[in-house]
Amino acid sequence: MRITSNGPTSCNRIGGRRRLAARTAMALAAAATACATGGPAQAAPVAVQQTPAFAFADAGLQLFKTYQPTVRIDTAGPGAVWFSAPANPTVCFTRAGESWVTLRYTNVTTGRAGVTSVRACSTTIAGPRRVKIAPGPGLVIGTFDAVGTGILAPTAPGTAVFRVG
């Protein structure tokens, strides 16, 4: 049996296919790495163990609605997070939509503490819906409650526990 070769073009064609496959694999790996790392820095939700606050909201015409604000924490870089307290749209249609959600926090690892407030709803009243806080890395504990116009006493504060990277 005689083995014949079609010359160097046969080997180059196979080598070319292998190079193409290798380059395609490298391009796909680079794209997968970019997707896995999220590309540009984006806020990612942080797990928050919490009990919601409780308040009565003035719904107008002597009607009252219960309002249970909860907090949302997103990453904002080393030792920092974004704090927000988005409300259900049905709450925003009451006077509770004009209220603030105030967070009092302490980082038990670093000892840093602070107080910050955000608006739960987009209304005509100015105020941030999200603020950046920098408690430093570690375990953060806090309490939060709804305060301001449209919130009737008595209220019960909520609690939040989360870890900052």
Q: In this structure, what CATH number is given to the domain that contains residue 119?
A: 2.60.40.10
- Calculate what percentage of the chain has a pLDDT beyond 90: 49
Token pair 């926090």 is at which residue?
A: 105
User: How many CA within 13 A on the CB side of residue 27?
Assistant: 6
Task: Tell whether 114 and 62 lie within a shared domain.
Answer: yes
Of the ranges 76-85, 96-105, 110-119, which one carries the lowest mean pLDDT score? 96-105
User: In what helix (H) or strand (E) does residue 163 lie, and over which residues does it extend?
Assistant: strand 158-164
Query: Which tokens in the block code for residue 147?
Result: 């305060």
Task: Tell whether 31 and 66 lie within a shared domain.
Answer: no
Task: Tell whether 126 and 154 lie within a shared domain.
Answer: yes
pLDDT single digits (tens) 13-42: 445 555 544 454 444 444 443 333 333 446
What average pLDDT does the chain have? 80
More confident position, 139 or 92: 139
Task: Tell whether 56 and 111 lie within a shared domain.
Answer: yes
**CA–CA gap between residue 132 and residue 116 (Å, rounded):** 9
Question: Number of structural domains, the chain?
Answer: 2
The pLDDT confidence band at residue 93, using thresholds 50, 70 and 90, is confident
Structural domain of residue 159, as residue ranges? 49-164
Give the strands of the sheet with 49-51, arranged side by side.
49-51, 158-164, 138-147, 100-107, 113-119
Token pair 């219960």 is at which residue?
A: 66
Return the pLDDT at 10: 45
48 pLDDT above the threshold of 90? yes
Task: Tell whether 78 and 118 lie within a shared domain.
Answer: yes
Task: Tell whether 69 and 147 lie within a shared domain.
Answer: yes
Task: Tell whether 72 and 89 lie within a shared domain.
Answer: yes
Return the pLDDT at 61: 74
pLDDT single digits (tens) 54-91: 998 887 777 788 889 999 999 999 999 999 999 988 88
Query: Which tokens in the block code for residue 96?
Result: 């509770």
The pLDDT confidence band at residue 5, using thresholds 50, 70 and 90, is very low
| CA dihedral over 18, 22, 27, 33, signed as positive or negative | positive
**CA–CA gap between residue 138 and residue 164 (Å, rounded):** 5
Kindly report the pTM of this predicted structure: 0.71
Query: Which tokens in the block code for residue 22?
Result: 């290798």
User: How many CA within 13 A on the CB side of residue 81?
Assistant: 25
